[in-house]
Amino acid sequence: MSSTEQVQAQPQTPSLAMLRTLGGVAMLSGLLVVLVYQWTLPLIEENKRIAIEKAISQVIPGVVSKKDFILGPDGLFASDAPQAKGEKVYAAYNARGELQGIALEAAATGYQDVIRILYGYNQDCQCVTGIKVLKMAETPGLGDKIASDPEFLKNFKALDGRLDEQKGALQNAIVTVKHGTKREQWEIDAISGATISSKAIGRMINASGQRMFPLIIQHLDELRAGQEN
């Protein structure tokens, strides 16, 4: 047999058939991913709702019910309003239907990854009343103490968030200071050995407060009446 005949006798790779097969597998995989996402999304949303409700009761003492709003420079809207622009806030009410506080979400980059919290704000004292870590990936035994260390969490029992005379920004920026050096009510005493994580909490609350506290005070009457609407 000649060399030409040997070359012609070699099997040809069915490239078109292979491409079709790979394309079919890719489409099927994509479809399965979409179906799993759609199937699990309601469960994820329900678990998130339950987690938020539990967190609200921890960061705002005495809360019995809540109402969700979207708050931004354009105003206060119901959470499902199509024209709503801003950030979601949770107005919390006591057993008498009185506004007990506002819960807000905040986030900042920590040592490992983004830290996300829910924190409470009391409109009467203009102060933060508690925090609850919703998501983090900080170093076990060090950075993750921001979620459980009793002395650190005491910082947020009445953290000063008063506004300036113009009601447009915080009177004093909320800052995290070196462990043992806290002197002011707007300072956060850091956890020794977890300074980066501690500072992330201070940065996120300050940024959120500078942006949202003036809006809360501006729309306070609407928020107080929210339970009746």
Tokens of residue 162, six digits: 């008063």
- Model pLDDT, residue 35: 76
Separation between Cα atoms, residue 27 and residue 204, nearest integer Å: 41
Q: How far is CA 178 from CA 1, 13, 41, 164, 198, in A?
A: 86, 68, 42, 26, 10
In this prediction the pTM is: 0.79
Percentages (nearest 5) of helix, strand, coil residues in the chain: 40, 25, 30
| pLDDT tens series, the chain, 229 aa | 455 555 555 555 567 777 778 878 888 888 878 777 677 766 766 777 788 889 999 999 999 999 999 999 999 999 988 888 999 999 999 999 999 999 999 999 998 899 999 999 999 999 999 999 999 987 787 789 999 999 999 999 999 999 999 999 999 999 999 999 999 999 999 999 999 999 999 999 999 999 999 999 999 999 999 855 5
Tokens of residue 84, six digits: 């709503």
- Model pLDDT, residue 216: 98
- Model pLDDT, residue 37: 65
Tokens of residue 148, six digits: 């459980």
Report the 10 Å Cβ neighbour count for 43.
Answer: 9
- According to DSSP, residue 192 is labeled T
Contacts of 106 (CB under 8 A, 6+ apart): 116, 117, 118, 119, 204, 205, 207, 208
- What's the gap between Cα 173 and its chain centre? 21
Tokens of residue 109, six digits: 């980059």
- Model pLDDT, residue 228: 56
3-state secondary structure of 56: helix
Nearest to 78 by CA among 218, 227, 215: 227
Separation between Cα atoms, residue 35 and residue 103, nearest integer Å: 34
- Model pLDDT, residue 93: 97
